[in-house]
Chains A and B, each alone.
Chain A
Amino acid sequence: MSHSAPGLNYLNHAKGFKSWALSLDHKRIGVMYMVAVSLAFLAGGILALLVRLELLGPGETIMGPDAYNQSFTLHAVLMIFAFIIPAIPAVMGNFVLPIQVGAKDVAFPRLNLASFYIYLIGAAIAMTALVNGRIDGGWTFYAPYSTSIGNGILWVTSGVFVMGFSSILTGLNFIVTVHKMRAPGLTWNRLPLFIWSIYATSIVQVLATPVIGITVLLLFLEKALSIGIFDPALGGDPVLFQHFFWFYSHPAVYIMILPAFGVISDLMGTFSRHQVSGYKFVALSSVAIAFLGFLVWGHHMFVSGQSAVSSIVFSLITYLIGIPTGVKVINWVQTMYKGSVQLKSPMLYAIMFLFTFSIGGFTGIMLGVLAIDVHLHDTYFVVAHFHYVMMGGNVIAALGGLHYWWPKFFGKMYNETLAKIAAILVFTGFNVTFFPQFILGAQGMPRRYYDYLPQYEGLHALSTYGSWILAAGLFLIAGYLIASFFTGKKAGLNPWGALTLEWTHTTTPPDHHNFHDTPVVTRGAYDYHLAGHLFQNGGEVTELDLGGDGAGAAPEVAPLSHEPAH
């Protein structure tokens, strides 16, 4: 560009540890989050493999019951609080959201950096439970069991409490950024759906997270000071804990899944080169789901001891929230209709998402049926269901987003052939791991079981074999992404031909300040029919789209590369 030395971008404009650790640049903070949540995912994933290995056969396989119970608990705590909740919003939201709205940074850059360190401190406190005493019983910490075990619970709940602040502050930052910092012309109806979904997520983060904070604080006080709140032995009510817990944790499910909806919408639009079907519905239903998500917590408690009338009301409301989610799936499929579909690796994940997330959704309908839930509650059916929603939804979407934005993040293309092989491995491994668990659960196999009856051995073994395929796929991804730093082809400005600002109005990787001139937006995020001029030379757009907005000067950017690696 004319304003800065060629070749300078957010990665190389400043060097040294301090330039990263104290950076207020949303892109660098996003990259630091990426490293942190990847480590959490690695640790949680290794624990998952150990858990599956133990379940290969009945009885002791590699560890005793206490080690097993602590492994699945730590797996859940790491995956939920340290990985899934921050993964898409804190990594991709941080990096992409400010550029997509045409801003130079988030509204409060210092707060953004503070959120990152609060997250790190929280995660570190939670991890000290490893040496500070046992934590078992799963991520739900149901009282009075959770207060009857050692002091590890004090550390884990403190860690969750602290990580919660990171989540609240990030949400706050994004809400203000979306409201106040959109570029001229970027009306709400033109916003990329990724922004809409992160915005909806942020609302839930700000409103729901304080509740888990208060809940774990009460649990902490009960444990530390023996104040009777939840423990019946002290005059408390254990069902009250479940109400508090799910009042956060059900909305938290939407913190985990709404960002995935946003990624999938962007992928579907870009790789179908088509308007996302039902744009307004998809956008507004995310916000509606964010609010309705607060009204269905009791569907986790049909057999917990809440009144039958409550269960019935919660079941009904659960269906109301199911419908818009189902319609979204139909909209994504419809986006391909009469589009121009390109099956690059990010799109493979979007297609995969429609498969796995739909299974997660339909089995959610099954679990919402009162009489059926009585049978399926706390069995492997539930384990399979939420892995189809969380991993088949969030993680698959996150992988799609990672492959989609990787060239923008680091300016390098990964090996597309390996990416496609890995996508197939992940898809196969995921389904082989988790589909048998639906059958196990329907057959009556309870969850959180160290040991099981011999009749369940075959399906458990199959599930364990699946976890190995899944792991192979994920390690392959890590391998070629890291390799792309060294051997990857230089990425072009806009290898996928996308129309959002991070692809059309900034360099690859983005300049330190994102834009030299404030972008002026003249069309919606998926109005490909208004951007035909960008595609005159083929699928890969190699010029910034600075024309048409009156800003004038043709960009002085030479075409950077030719074809993306195949």
Chain B
Amino acid sequence: MGDNGSVWLPDPGTALAGEVDSLFWFVFWTSTVMFAMVVLAKVYFMVKYKRKDDRDVPAPVEESKILEAAWIVVPTILVLIVFTWGFDVFVKLSSAPPDAYQINVRAQQWSWEFAYDEGATSYTELYVPVGRPVKLNMTSADVLHSFYIPSFRVKHDVIPNRYTSVWFQAEEAGEYNIHCTEYCGTQHSGMNAKVVAVSEEDFAAWIAEQSQDLPPAVLGQQVFAQCQACHSIDGTPGIGPSLAGIYGEEHEFTDGSTAVVDDDYLLESIINPMAKIRKGYQPVMPAGFSALSQKQLDGLVAYIKSLE
């Protein structure tokens, strides 16, 4: 039935995902057989014992103690097998190898930030080396989120003021979807990213390149990946106003006041988004961006200034 695996489950991207799948298929087929037995018995009885005479009053059936016991004992044994098996794989999923490569993950409405010890930071792509265990230490800047990679069968909630983790070891180079699976607001379904699994050499090269000091506007462009769910750079209004060519413009706010877009205004709007609300927009911008580093903030301001 492995060929149907693609109908039910995405291709497993890790060895452990394969183990989860074996368990899935065991439960699936055991359940299917038992379900089929229930349905067949039901249909057979419906037809066989259909009322023929309206005056018919059938006698009660002597209940078989052995049969009754079997209904209880057999499923109990089956679920204990399934429980133990699931327990075993769960412990493996929960225990990262001690030598795992660690990446810090910060979730906020509605983006992911992946910070590497070497100094690199990425937002929409989580680069990982193939064949090496990777452990993600995750925390949230605002509300609950949940980090999910369907192909790796790993998921864990991401909680403010606390670290949680998942680990995996990608088997093949490729891209795998990341989703947020704990509801976190308007753009919850847009809070996606990708795992990019590459060879050790490519990974080392990527880390080296990313960890250099970037010009502020280039760094800002990378950080801006977190803003794209709501702010366009081509003039199209989204949940938030487009940022194309706003530097130097005069903006009107919901309270009727106005201001000219300068560096201070940009910085304030990032770290304290409720201070000034553009006319025609809702006060819905998350507050979590105040946690960005000064360097990232400088970069963002430089990048937004550069937009035309």
Contacts and interface: CB of A to CB of B under 8 A. Distances in A.
B90 A529 contact: no
Interface size class of A (residues with CB under 8 A): 35 or more
A448 B188 contact: yes
Nearest to B179: A446
Interface in B176-196: 177, 179-190
A125 B244 CA distance: 44
Interface stretch (A13-21, A85-93, A335-343, A475-483): A335-343
A278 B49 CA distance: 19
B258 interface: no
Contacts of B83: 315-316, 319, 368-370
B63 A278 contact: yes
B50 interface: yes
Interface string B149-161: 0110111110111
Interface string B14-29: 0000011001100110
Contacts of B239: 65
A374 B153 CA distance: 7
Interface string B32-63: 00110011011001100111101111111101
A232 B76 contact: no
B68 interface: yes
A340 B86 contact: no
A205 interface: no
Contacts of A275: 60-61
Nearest to B88: A371
Interface string A533-566: 0011111100000000000000000000000000
A315 B86 CA distance: 9
B243 interface: no
Contacts of A138: 183
A278 to B, nearest CB: 7
Interface in A404-441: 439
B90 to A, nearest CB: 4
A155 interface: no
B23 A531 contact: no
Interface in B203-254: 239
A514 interface: no
Contact of B50 (A144, A149, A343, A442): A343
A330 B37 CA distance: 10
Contacts of B51: 273, 340-342, 539
A274 B150 contact: no
Given A316-B83, A446-B148, A535 B55 contact: yes
Interface string A506-548: 0000000000000000000001110110011111100000000
Contacts of A448: 183, 188-189
A160 B22 CA distance: 42
Given A308-B94, A374-B153, A65 B186 contact: yes
Given A340-B57, A444-B177, A538-B54, A238 B189 contact: no
Interface in A356-389: 358-359, 362-363, 365-366, 368-375, 377-379
B66 interface: no
A315 B91 CA distance: 13
B183 A305 contact: no
Most central of A149, A305, A327, A369 by chain B CB within 10 Å: A369
Given A144-B143, A308-B94, A343 B46 contact: yes
A65 to B, nearest CB: 5
A195 to B, nearest CB: 20
Most central of B9, B46, B189 by chain A CB within 10 Å: B189
A334 B63 CA distance: 10
A210 interface: no
A233 B151 CA distance: 33
A142 B181 CA distance: 13
A372 B26 CA distance: 11
A378 B160 CA distance: 19
Contacts of A355: 39, 42
Contacts of B156: 303, 305, 374
Contacts of A142: 144, 182-183
B46 A336 contact: yes
Contacts of A528: 57-58
A442 B155 CA distance: 13
Interface stretch (A38-46, A102-110, A186-194, A450-458): A450-458
Contact of B23 (A362, A372, A535): A372
Contacts of B257: none
A71 interface: no
A351 interface: yes
A478 B183 CA distance: 35
B89 A371 contact: yes
A377 B162 CA distance: 21
B45 A232 contact: no
B75 interface: yes
A330 B9 CA distance: 30
Interface in B123-162: 142-144, 146, 148, 150-151, 153-157, 159-162
Q: Which 3 residue pairs of A and B lie closest in terms of their CB atoms, listed nearest first?
A: A444-B150, A371-B89, A370-B90
Given A65-B186, A65-B187, A540-B54, 20 more contacts: A145-B143, A149-B185, A305-B164, A311-B90, A322-B79, A342-B51, A362-B34, A369-B27, A369-B86, A370-B83, A370-B87, A371-B153, A373-B86, A374-B20, A374-B93, A377-B155, A443-B150, A451-B190, A538-B54, A539-B54
Interface of B: 7-10, 19-20, 23-24, 27-28, 31, 34-35, 38-39, 41-42, 45-46, 49-52, 54-61, 63, 68, 71-72, 75-76, 79-80, 82-83, 85-94, 142-144, 146, 148, 150-151, 153-157, 159-162, 164, 177, 179-190, 239
15 contacts: A273-B51, A305-B162, A308-B91, A316-B83, A319-B83, A333-B42, A340-B58, A351-B46, A359-B35, A362-B35, A439-B8, A442-B24, A444-B151, A448-B188, A529-B60
